Chains A and B, each alone.
Chain A
Amino acid sequence: MKITAPLLFSVSLSILPFSGIAQDELEKALATQTSPEKVSATFKSPKLINIQTSETIHRHELDFRVDHRFGDIAGHNGGMSNFFGLDQSTDIRIGFDYGISDRLTAGLARAKGAGPATQLYEGSLKFRLTEQSNDDGMPFSTTLFGSATASAMRASEDVTAATAYRKFADRLSYVAQAVLARKFTPAFSFEVVPTYVHRNFTAYNDENDLFALAVGGRLKVSKRMALVADYTVPFRTKSSKDYIEAVNGAAFYHVLGAGLEIETGGHVFHLNFTNATAIQESQFIPETTSTWTKGQFRWGFSIARRFSFHRKDAKQQE
């Protein structure tokens, strides 16, 4: 017995390192340079709170999304009398986005509209130009977004109004955006969105062309929950801004949205707060006249559900 114990010990000593070395050698035999991969899921949803993200809808998938914004929580129009805004809805949007390919998404939406223009119909296209790669060969993703929105409301009789439409083209406004996004860590993504808004028809002395810059970020706090926030700055010329603010008796404000994103496998929920009353880019970017500091922020939510339309026989080919 006394002999076997040291013997076993020495045998195991000689075998153990050996097997370790053997596995290392196998590992060496497999060693190859790995090709760079695209970084996936920079964001979880095609939209943060107010602004677009770099995400498109996968091929043959449909994203059905309902956005809702309630009335002012506090301030002059908020408080208990309208149950902190829950008695009102400033804007409601129902949208469908379909992945024509992994890179190209086409969308159709109907929104109530929260600016002078209401009864909005939107068509949009979103195209992934570049995708961030995990070796930083491409350090960020670029996605282009374009939309056209038409108002179906009755034209105003007041010729100075923003809705004094004379012909169909007057009812249209366009948005063009380039979303530059980077997933800095598995938990944190950030994006910068240069934006151009063109409104074919505006109120007297308002600007038809407007540039804006938006930034947004997402911070994952658990596997299925993330904090999201975005901030949008429209660039108006001072003379036009002063004039419109005087006529409206209301100032223009930057737009801040902050909220919680919950993903449940198929559904994405957003619970958010924002001072923007409108949901459509063509409205909340140029026309936000409500501000956080006067209690004019609101509770909002969005619910998105993803559907897959893959051919059934694809399964059998596998």
Chain B
Amino acid sequence: MRTTILSLLLLSSLHAYPQFLVSKTATISFFSSTPVEDIAAVSKTGSSAINPKTGDILFKVNNTSFRFEKKMMQEHFNENYMESDRYPTSEFRGKITDPVDYSKAGTYQVTVKGTLNVHGVTKSYQVPATLTVNGTQISAACTFNVSVADHKIKIPSLVIKNIAEVMQVKVSATYQKN
């Protein structure tokens, strides 16, 4: 009986997906700075997955999960800028182009190449990122700039002094083996 269960388990593990690295608590934040005001928003419920074999990487975040200090800004963000009803998620699909040994502890400086989809508009990016392997814990961090105009997000002239044209986006995630 025991051996049957064991062999069944073995079989099922063989048929499972290749072992992905998954994070459901990815932190994604953006920061806008102008002489008039600084605006920051953060989502701690982003999700990300890495296929360690191919280097494929995916980041996904619900636009309504971004939290602002001022709730009214949050409402404006979803209603007027991101149009979260029409474009509920923002995502990045790409590939880690440098080799990483996920079984060896260390910090890896890598390049991530792919496309970012925000507000229904896709744009190619190539950004440096840091991968840290520490035993079974693997984490990733990356900072890059996104131009609001690139994603066809219009800032009305009335608030043009309050909202930066380029946002600094920070992404970090700690992965578990799936």
Task: Give me the interface of A with B, judged by CB distance under 8 Å.
Answer: 19, 22-23, 25-30, 32, 34, 37, 40-41, 58-59, 61, 102, 186, 223-224, 263-266, 306, 308, 310, 314-315, 318
Contact = CB atoms under 8 A, between A and B. Distances in A.
Given A23-B58, A41-B75, A224 B47 contact: no
Contacts of A59: 71
A132 B42 CA distance: 24
Contacts of A224: 80, 156
A58 B62 CA distance: 21
Contacts of A318: 40, 42, 69
B107 interface: no
Given A28-B17, A224-B156, A308-B70, 19 more contacts: A22-B56, A27-B58, A29-B17, A29-B22, A30-B47, A30-B49, A30-B60, A32-B24, A40-B64, A40-B74, A41-B75, A58-B71, A102-B71, A223-B79, A265-B80, A265-B159, A266-B159, A315-B38, A318-B69
Nearest to B50: A26
Contacts of B83: 223
A195 to B, nearest CB: 27
Nearest to B65: A37
Q: Interface range on chain B: under 10, 10 to 19, 20 to 34, or 35 or more?
A: 35 or more
B69 A223 contact: no
Given A22-B54, A186-B86, A264-B156, A223 B72 contact: no
B58 A30 contact: yes
B137 interface: no
Interface in B25-75: 38, 40, 42, 47-51, 54, 56-58, 60, 62, 64, 69-72, 74-75
Contact of A61 (B50, B70, B159): B70
A26 B72 contact: no
A108 B50 CA distance: 55
Given A186-B85, A264-B158, A26 B79 contact: no
A174 to B, nearest CB: 30
Contacts of A28: 17
A34 B51 CA distance: 23
Contacts of A265: 76, 80, 156, 158-159
B78 interface: yes
A202 B47 CA distance: 62
Given A19-B56, A186-B85, A264-B158, A223 B22 contact: no
29 contacts: A19-B54, A22-B54, A25-B20, A26-B20, A26-B49, A26-B50, A26-B58, A27-B49, A30-B60, A41-B75, A58-B70, A58-B71, A58-B72, A58-B75, A59-B71, A61-B70, A102-B71, A186-B85, A186-B86, A223-B79, A223-B80, A265-B80, A265-B159, A266-B159, A306-B72, A310-B70, A315-B69, A318-B40, A318-B69
A315 B18 CA distance: 42
Contacts of A263: 80
B177 to A, nearest CB: 11
B103 to A, nearest CB: 19
Contacts of B64: 37, 40
B93 interface: yes
Pick the 3 closest A-B CB pairs, nearest first: A58-B71, A186-B85, A26-B58
Contact of A314 (B69, B74, B86): B69
B126 interface: no
Contacts of A32: 24, 47
B178 interface: yes
